[in-house]
Structure 1
Amino acid sequence: MMRDLSILFRRYNADVTKALRRRGLSSEAAADIAQETFLRVLALGMRSEAVVDNPRGYLLRVARNLSIDLGRREGHSPFVGGEIERFEATPDPAPSQETRLSDRQKLAAVAAALDELPERTRRAFEMHRLGERTIAEIGVELGLSTSRTAVLIKDAYHHIRGRLRADED
């Protein structure tokens, strides 16, 4: 298949472009992806002498995969081609002053709740939640069983949640 790309291009370019158009791409995008398809095949041919029994099917599969990649890229980009009005109408993703104040108050409440915990419970919670350590690892370090360590961490969660609920009231 890779031996004469110009023959493949003449024979299958129209099929690849039509298939891409049927997938909903514009004629320009379909032509670009068709060209990219043949460039990929050319690059593959330079790396190895791959033998493909169905060159049309292979080209259509490569083109389909490239069109999927294009769709994913465009899906992550909410603005296309100079639509400045849509860009200006987009809300600011930064949190509001009220949200920031509320979050700071919650953090202060969590810090106060952590200070109220017994040393071993607080340490187990911090190692688990902040240190991303497993319950078994924490148990070994603190000299506790896994089940006792899990109970300490659970108690810490309950205490913090209760403190946050009390602050909301």
Structure 2
Amino acid sequence: MTWDLHKLFQKHSREINRFLRRRGHTPETAADLTHDTFLRVLVSAPKESEGEDNPRAYLFKVSKNISLNYQRRERLVRFADLDGDDVGELVDPAPSAETVVYSRQCLDQVEVALAELPERTRKAFEMSRLGERTIADISKELNLSKTRTWGLIHEAYRHLLKRVDDF
């Protein structure tokens, strides 16, 4: 026996949702449980030997069981509603080990890419990005025009974009 779940969903999802809401679930929870119902049927549809030839009744039976399981779980485990400020306190601000390793690899790539640049280009870029200096200050120190100084910095950016994974 094969059921067309797409048609079943279109035909019965609203009434299953209403059924779950009448059982006391919030609209959001009812929507989640409705989807869980169809997912459960998708994963393990009844076997022919079980004699389920009424898909609507089977869907309601599954949704009732899912609802009961959800309500049992709610009684056993206490949940607390947190607002945005409280959630921020739970988050660990430290980066994960993978993030640290990846960032170090990117920094190594930046170091190699900067070493490949001509001296004047590298110096202009470092003065701009690391020294937080203006184009006018850099052009005076390097004895270049502002346009040429900007061109060197732009050239360094293009080189870094080619050579570094996430720049």
Which TM-score band applies after superposition, normalised by the shorter structure?
A: 0.3 to 0.5
After TM superposition, the score normalised by the length of structure 2 is 0.46
